[in-house]
Amino acid sequence: ALDRGIATVYQDLAVVPLMPVWRNFFLGSEPTVGFGPFKRLDVRKMRETTRTELLRMGIDLRDVDQPIGTLSGGERQCVAIARAVYFGAKVLVLDEPTAALGVKQSGVVLKYVAAARDAGLGVVLITHNPHHAHLVGDRFILLKRGAMSGSHTKDDVTLDELTRQMAGGSELEELSHELERTPTPTLPGAHGTKDETP
């Protein structure tokens, strides 16, 4: 897939927390210098390239020698995106990049997702968050149990409608009507009414 220009940034990021940022940036694709028994890693090139490529994406890290595990979740996601862009990805698949992040860090990641999109990459953003999808997406494909249940362009669907469909849409409405019709069962051990105090 990588040889064909398809890069995936996994939800768990697949980084080595104790290694420096530059080692993780080149993990598995390290440039070398020298020949035969004198062959060694080109550390200077890796450090300089990592710093340059991160800056190009607008990521200004304090130090590329710091362990990547000391970065925030959003910063680590951005390093993974910059790495994919540097190694020539034409299509970038992001698996729930904002799932474990707070609002501010999610905003940082979405900014770099938009930057990758604007740089001409095809970006597939897999997410359960309609707000994040609607912010950066051009087209939305909804999947239900592995089958496509909807396809919309940004002009075709509002955020509210996208949210309704992702939350279950008609199934949620049916459940709502069913709950209104069904009497609430009394649970074992539940005594009295809500108005009574113990």
Q: What is the pLDDT of residues 122-153, one digit of tens each?
A: 999 999 999 999 999 999 999 988 889 889 99
Q: Which of 96, 152, 117, 114 is nearest to 160 (CA)?
A: 152
Predicted TM-score (pTM) of this structure: 0.71
The whole-angstrom separation of Cα 33 and Cα 167 is 54
Q: In the block, which residue shows the tokens 């649970």?
A: 187
DSSP E strands in 82-187: the ranges are 91-95, 122-126, 139-144, 147-153
Residue 142 corresponds to which amino acid?
Answer: L
pLDDT in tens, 57-114: 777 887 999 999 998 888 888 888 888 888 888 999 999 888 878 888 888 888 888 9
DSSP 95: E
- What is the architecture of the domain spanning 6-137? 3-Layer(aba) Sandwich (3.40)
pLDDT on residue 187: 66
In what order do the strands lie in the sheet containing 6-9?
A: 6-9, 91-95, 122-126
DSSP 195: T
- Pairing type for strands 40-41 and 32-33 reads antiparallel
Task: Name the residue ranges covered by the structural domains of the chain.
Answer: 6-137
pLDDT on residue 135: 92
Q: In the block, which residue shows the tokens 């249940």?
A: 149
Q: Residue 78, exposed/middle/buried by CB under 10 A (0-12, 13-18, 19+)?
A: buried
